[in-house]
Structure 1
Amino acid sequence: MKKIRLLLCVALIATTSQVFGQGQIIDFLKAGQADANTLSQAYLLPYGEMLGVNLNSGWYNTAKVHKIGGFDITFSTSYTTAPNSKKSFDPSSLDLKAVAPENTGMAPTMAGSKSSSMGFYMKDDPSKTNIIDMKGAGADYFVSPMIQAAVGLPFHTEIMGRFMPTMGYGDYGEASLWGIGLKHSIKDYIPFVKRVPFLQASVLAAYTDFGAKLGVSNTGSLEGIGTGTGNLETSAGAFTSRLLVGINVPVVSFYTGLGYGTTTSNFDIIGDFTGYEDTNNPIALDYKTSGFDFNAGMRLRFAIFSLHADYTVGEYSVITAGVGINFR
C-alpha cells in the first residue's frame, strides 16, 4: 500500500514539475509582481482547470450500490486533456501595467506547443527589448492515479473514500489527498427500472481535497531576478454530483453518468525572490470551474476481480481506467 501511495505522490509531483521545472513562472517576476500574477494566471489556466476536473474523476465504475457489508477496493488512473482553446490566450486582453506583448498575436499557455512563444517588453523601454520569453510547455494533459474503497451501508447506500497521507519524494516535493463520497440507489423509486433486474440507477455526491508542495528556486541564471528559493504550494477542492444509470449482467456491465461539478484550485509561490523588485511570496493564483459533463464506460468482472474503463465528455475530456476487487 505504501508503494501505491508513493506512486500517487510521484505522478502528481511529476505532472506539476512538467510546468514549473523550467522556471517560467519565476521568469515572469521580471515584469514586477502585479504583472507576474496577471501573466501567470493566464499561462497556468489549463493546469488549474485540469487539476480540478481530474480530481472529480474515477469515483465509480458501476451504477449498482453494494449490499450491506459489501465492499470494493479500486485502483484507477485518470488522464485529462486540455482543449485547443486553452492552449493559447490573447495577451492584449490582460490588464498589464508594466509590460506589453511584442505583437498582436496569441501567446501560449503551459498547454501550448513548446515551439510557440511570445515576448514581452517594458512599456517604458523605447528599444522594446524583450525581457520575457513566454514559451509553451507542451503540458496539455494531467494524469492522476487514485486508490479508493467503498462499503455498503443500510438503506441502499454506500460510502466511498480515497486517501493519501502526506507523502514526500526526495527533495522534489510532497503531496496529500483525501476524499469522501456517498452513493444511493434510486432503483426502487422508478417503477420501470424496479421491475427490470439488470437495470440500475443511483445518485452520487463526492468531494476530493488535494494539497502539494514543490520546491522552486532561482540560482541567478534568470537575468533580472536575484537568487531566491521557495515553494509552490498547491491546494484544490473538487465536488461532483451525478445521476448514474447502468446495465449489470454476468461478466460485463455498462454505466453512464450525467452530473454537475465545481472545482477550485490555488497556487502560491511562497519564498523570497529579489532583483527587479523585492518580491516576498510573489505569486498567488486561484481558479474556479463549474459545469455539466457526461461519461460512459464498461466494466468486466471475473469472480471478485474487475477491469473498467470510461470516457468523460466535457470541456476537458477524461479517460479513466482501473482494476478492482469487489465483493457483494
Structure 2
Amino acid sequence: MKKPFLFKPVMALVLLFGVQKVSAQQNVGDLFKSGPADATKLVNAYFDPLYKGLGVGLTDGWSNTAKSKGLLKFDVRFSVSGAFVPQASRSYDVNALGLSNIKPAVGASSIGPTAFGNDEVGGRMQIYTSNGLPTTTFFNLPKGLGFHIVPSAQIQATLGLPKNIDVTLRAMPKVKLGSDLGSLSMIGFGAKIELLPLFMSGTAEKLVPVDIAIAGGFTQYRYDLPLNINNSTGSNQHIDAKFNGVNFDAIVSKKILFFTPFASVGYQTSNTNLKALGTYSFDTGNGSSVNYTDPISVKQTDIDGARASLGFQLKFGFFKFYGSYTAAKYSMVNAGIGLGIGQ
C-alpha cells in the first residue's frame, strides 16, 4: 500500500489573495490523504480555477488608452481584477484524475467542488492498497468557497520615453502576510508603442480619428510559506510558488474631453510552478513512519489563448479612474484609480 501523505497547507494559496480568512496551517489532512502522486493530482484539480483566474489577472490592467505618455510624464495606479469562474470549472471528478490508490467509497459521489465551487463537502473517498484492496481510511473531498470570482491586484508606475513609447513597472516588495501565512511579492514590466506617429507626419496623423498602439507585459507573483507539519529540526518544510503571466495587445482608443473609451485584442499565457519542499514524516498507523522529500510539484500552463477587452479612462486633473471588461477563457472585470502628470 502507498502510505498516506497528508497535504495540509495548500489552502493558504487561497487565503493569500484575500479569499478567505482561515489559518494557512489549517489541518486539511482529512481532506487530502494519498501518496505524493495522488496528492499532486488532487491539489491540481482543486485549485485549477485559482491558477487560471489568477493567470488572467496577471495579464490584465496594463493599459486603458492607446495614447502614449509624453516624455517624462508619469502616473502610478492601483487596480483590482475579478475573473469569473465558469460552471464547468466549479467541480471535478476524481474518476477522471487517474488516481492510483483513491476511489469513491461505495455508493458515494466521485464529484468534489473546486476551490471556487460550491460551499459543500465533496464525495467521500476511500484509500486502497497498491494491490487494489480497500483500507479503513476515508476522507471527504474539500468544500469550495461558495463564490465564483478569483481576485487579483495590480500596482504599477508608467513613464513616458522618446519615440512615443512608455514603459511600466509593476512591483511589490516581499510582504509578510503573518506568522502563519508566509510572504508575497510581485514584479513585472511592460511597454507600449503608439503607432501612428511612427508612420505619419503631424498633419496626417490628425486626420485619423483614433489612437493606435501595441503593448506587452510580464507579471510574476511569488509566494513562500514556511510549514510546520509534524516538523523536525532541519526539515526545511515550505511552499514555493510562482505564478507568471505574459500578454501582447493591439489597442485603439479615442479621447473625448475627459473620457477615453478603448478596445483591444491580444494574446495571453500564464503558468504555475508550485512545490511543497522539504522532508515530511508521517505515522503510518502500524507503529512505523514514512518520510517524503519534496513531495508535491505542479508545473503547468494554465491559460494560452486570445482575449478581447472594452473599457474606459476618466481623467480629472491629476486623477484617473479606469474600468474594463475582458472576454477570454475566464472573463473578467478590472477597475482602478491612478495619479499622475500628463496624458
Which residue does the alignment assign to 1:75? 78
User: In the alignment, which of 252, 263, 278 is matched to residue 271 of structure 1?
Assistant: 278
Aligned to 1:117, what secondary structure does the other structure show? Answer: coil
Q: CA RMSD in A?
A: 2.9
Per-residue deviation, 1:270 = 2.2
Q: Which amino acid aligns with 1:162?
A: R
Per-residue deviation, 1:27 = 4.4
| Distance 1:234-1:145 versus aligned 2 partners, 3 A rule | same
Contact 2:127 2:136 in 1 (8 A): yes
If the length of structure 1 is used for normalisation, what is the TM-score? Answer: 0.85
User: In the alignment, which of 176, 201, 222 is matched to residue 211 of structure 1?
Assistant: 222
Which residue does the alignment assign to 2:7? none
Aligned to 1:59, what secondary structure does the other structure show? Answer: coil
If the length of structure 2 is used for normalisation, what is the TM-score? Answer: 0.81
Per-residue deviation, 1:22 = 4.5
The structure in which a higher percent of residues are helix is 1
CA distance in 2, matches of 1:237, 1:80: 16
Q: How does 1:173-212 map to 2 (within 5 A)?
A: 173-188=182-197, 194-196=205-207, 198-212=209-223
Aligned to 2:183, what secondary structure does the other structure show? Answer: strand
CA distance in 2, matches of 1:28, 1:245: 48
User: What is the aligned residue count?
Assistant: 311
Q: Which amino acid aligns with 2:300?
A: Y
Contact 1:28 1:39 in 2 (8 A): no
Contact 1:165 1:177 in 2 (8 A): yes
| Match status 1:41 vs 2:38 | no
Contact 1:119 1:132 in 2 (8 A): yes
Contact 1:13 1:174 in 2 (8 A): no
Q: How does 1:110-259 map to 2 (within 5 A)?
A: 110-124=115-129, 129=136, 131-138=138-145, 140-171=148-179, 172-188=181-197, 194-196=205-207, 198-218=209-229, 230-259=237-266
| Match status 1:14 vs 2:18 | yes
For structure 1, the 5+ residue unaligned runs are: 1-9, 221-227
Deviates more, 1:311-320 or 1:274-283: 274-283
Q: Which amino acid aligns with 1:120?
A: M
Which residue does the alignment assign to 1:224? none
Contact 2:113 2:120 in 1 (8 A): no
Q: How does 1:69-108 map to 2 (within 5 A)?
A: 69-102=72-105, 103=108, 105-108=110-113
Contact 1:29 1:36 in 2 (8 A): yes
CA distance in 2, matches of 1:147, 1:197: 33
Per-residue deviation, 1:229 = 8.4
CA distance in 1, matches of 2:23, 2:244: 20
**Structure having the higher Rg:** 2
Q: Which amino acid aligns with 2:271?
A: T
Which residue does the alignment assign to 1:285? 298
| Distance 1:282-1:233 versus aligned 2 partners, 3 A rule | same
For structure 2, the 5+ residue unaligned runs are: 1-13, 285-289
| Distance 1:135-1:54 versus aligned 2 partners, 3 A rule | same
Contact 1:213 1:232 in 2 (8 A): yes
| Match status 1:53 vs 2:56 | yes
Q: Which amino acid aligns with 1:84?
A: Q
| Residues 145-186 of structure 1: per-residue CA shift (max 9 Å, x gap) | 322111111111111111111121331211111111110011
Equivalent pairs: percent with the same residue? 25
